[in-house]
Amino acid sequence: MLRINPSVYLIGEVWNLSIRIAPYLRSLDSVFNFELADILISCILNEGNCSSMLNSYIRIINNYKKERHEEIIDAIFLSNHDQNRIMSVFNNNLSKTKIAAALLLTLPGLPFIYYGEEIGMLGMKPHDKYRREPFLWSANQIQGQTTWLEPLYTTISNGCIPLDQQLKDSNSLANHYKKLIHIRCQSDILLFGLLKPIPTRIRCLCLFEREYNNKSIFIAHNIGYRMQQISIPKIYCQIIYSTNDNNQLITNGQLNLQGFSSIIIDSK
């Protein structure tokens, strides 16, 4: 395949721990990071130890590097067609679903989004087909709407909001994804930068820097319900993204980060 197209990107799906799947990187550019997805989701579900999650990411990448010395493009994701959909995992909790998306789209690697994840589609085991229901474009039958299956989970009556309605709501999950994807695509640091965890004793705080070409940005996620005060390194002063207007105030290097919110701050 490389002889035909030297720039081809080969990715593998091996559902196992990083130490088990790392050898596949001898012949593949990347493998889906199931281990990280499980840790990330568990962390949000249980308001777990975010520092431990970031350290797990570093450990996983180091396992990969033992087998592949070339550049590693990590294939990060939240769920796929064989798993319960994220909105169902979080029991229709929009705040947890948004913070999961924010984490995904600020970590290093190449993010993969399972169709419908960006609008909060629902779906649970044991039936595969009901985790692969038609995309909910509109409340009305529109041209191009898939009708091969009568949805069981992703329905208006279950609280699912069609894409056309979400696009009109600046606070919707769909627009949350759009904003973060736009910011990521505009930033070489977010696209290519390394991750440097910032230690904290507050379990629900996920703090890290992304560094690329001698430039860096500061990223903070609060996966808990309560507001948390965080210290911002002095070099960071320009807020380029915040999920909550109340996160805007930085006083003497201190920021009150609201529950289930994120902030990205650029350096001087």
Domain that includes residue 123, residue range: 11-194
- Give a yes or no: residue 124 inside a domain: yes
Domain tally, the chain = 1
- Give a yes or no: residue 248 inside a domain: no
pLDDT tens by residue, 59-92: 999 999 998 877 888 999 999 999 999 999 999 9
Percent of all residues in the chain with a pLDDT value above 90, rounded to a whole number: 81
Helix axis angle, 94-104 to 34-45, nearest 10°: 140
Rg from Cα positions in the chain: 19
**pLDDT exceeds 80 at position 245:** no
The identity of residue 237, as a single letter, is C
pLDDT tens by residue, 16-38: 999 999 999 988 999 999 999 99
Query: CATH no. for residue 116?
Result: 3.20.20.80
- Give a yes or no: residue 151 inside a domain: yes
The β-bridge relationship of strands 75-77 and 110-112 is parallel
- Give a yes or no: residue 253 inside a domain: no
Helix axis angle, 173-185 to 94-104, nearest 10°: 10
The identity of residue 79, as a single letter, is S
- Give a yes or no: residue 131 inside a domain: yes
- Give a yes or no: residue 31 inside a domain: yes
- Give a yes or no: residue 174 inside a domain: yes
- Nearest one of 193, 177, 167 to 103, comparing CA atoms: 177
- Give a yes or no: residue 133 inside a domain: yes
